[in-house]
Amino acid sequence: MAHVVILGGGPAGYVAAIRARQLDCEVTLIEQDRLGGVCLNRGCIPSKALLRSAEVARLARGLNRYGVEGEFKGVNWPSVVQRKARVVNQLVKGIEFLMKHNGVTVVEGRGRLLDPRTVSVDTGGKEDVVRGDRLVIATGSVPASLPVPGCQAPTVLTSDDVLDLDHLPESMTIIGGGVIGVEFAEIFSAAGCKVTIVEMLPRIVPTEDEEIAAELARALRKKKIEIFTDSRVTEVATEEDGRVVRFTRGEEQREVKSQLVVSAVGRWPNSEGIGLQEAGLEMDRRRVKANARMETSVEGVYACGDLIGGLLLAHVASAEGKVAVTNAAGGSAEMTYDAIPSCVYTHPEIGSVGLTQAQAEERGIETKIGKFFYRACGKAVADGEREGLVKLVVNAADDKIIGGHIIGPHASDLVHELALAMKLEATAEQVGEMVHAHPTLAEPVMEAAEDALGIAIHK
């Protein structure tokens, strides 16, 4: 029985541990903080708990739109944060149970590689040494920082820090308009905070389809969220009544004042101080180099999740973790990234998979574009959720769907139909021919597929 040592208990590490036990390996998992990693403790789950409170606040403000009488008295921020903590704690306990249930040995402490098979673990004044036959490194990521004067703690909060604010600020400036930035903008704006986003690139959520990103920008501005794009931050200063973010926009010098400033400029692989270079692993700056089998440059050592860069998504990390331990256990598996869905949990939500229209054009692929707007969907109108659209990118050569982009209600759920279609190499005709229940929010997917063929019914 092979002994697999896993460094890191986040979505890559703990999932890898369970799969390794299913493959009849002995498993030791080393985690310096809490099981679940960044995603569960400081990322995906706590932010979604806060976003749920934001959604309820938004609905409560608009009760009269639905013929319901009531009075919105505001948001009790400490209670919101307490609820978030309860959600996180419940799920952490769930993972702890899974470790015990699956027979995974968990060692609490900070690990450091002594060699490609040995990890020294600082358990708080005491050193344990764990040696295995195979090593899987899944140490996740840490908030990135800007090399800008004043853009450090305590002047600027990280995306980790802001999750535990004990009070609701009157105003907030968010540096970075990517996924993390716009989700925090949604949370704090809905709670009653005045929010400004400063983004260096020409548009927010720059990895999304340009048309989808423009729809989101319009929706956020309707909520009085101020957005500055093409804006490079030059300084964050502290004044008596708060913070000042200074930035350049073209030739213009601008500044915005707020009570708090949050840096949401992304995340870096958590690779420092854990002995990676000493163990001989080939690096690309902060990230560990790994191939599609999650093999590193050192035989018997695998790496997965945010540590190897690429798509910093929890579900990608989990999939990579499964691939890593399958190979560590003597199997043969490779990671593919062609049909990975990604989501933005704003209101409206975004769900996307595959190529954008621009990416397809850059690759020289002739495309057909199918679109359908939610304002023509009966269920969306009945729900009072008319913003958004479904956009499909179809290869004109064979009519296969190569990209799907949704902005609208429940986009994060609906995108999986398109991910499955891409995984199975389905055509627009096949998706359009599949009977979708009426009235549902999934009908626009069918209509968009038909639109790519020029036969949409309700357009």
**Token pair in block for residue 31:** 């985690």
8 A C-beta contact, residue 336 and residue 147: no
**All residues at 6 or more sequence positions from 221 whose CB lies less than 8 Å from its CB, including other chains:** 227
DSSP string, 38-77: HHHHHSHHHHHHHHHHHHHHHHHHTGGGGT---------H
Q: Which residues contact 295 (CB under 8 A, 6 or more apart)?
A: 301, 302, 327
Give CA–CA dist 172/183, Å, rounded: 13
Please tell me which residue in 101, 416, 436, 438 is annotated as part of the active site: 438
Calpha distance 199→213 (Å, rounded): 13
At residue 36, the 3 state secondary structure works out as coil
Cβ-count burial of 334 within 10 angstroms (0-12 exposed, 13-18 middle, 19+ buried)?
A: exposed
8 Å CB contact between 99 and 35: yes
Contacts of 454 (CB under 8 A, 6+ apart): none
Assess whether 438 carries a catalytic annotation.
yes
AA identity, residue 8: G
Q: Is 212 exposed, middle or buried (0-12, 13-18, 19+ CB in 10 A)?
A: buried
DSSP 322-340: HHHHHHHTT-------TT-
Neighbouring C-alpha atoms within 13 Å toward the C-beta of 64: 3
Spatial CA neighbour of 353 closest among 207, 236, 201? 207
- CA 207-324-326 angle, to 5 degrees, is 130
CA 414 vs. chain centroid, Å, equals 17
Could you tell me which residues are beta bridge partners of residue 137?
7, 303
Rounded (5°) CA angle 89-91-96: 95
Catalytic machinery residues: 438
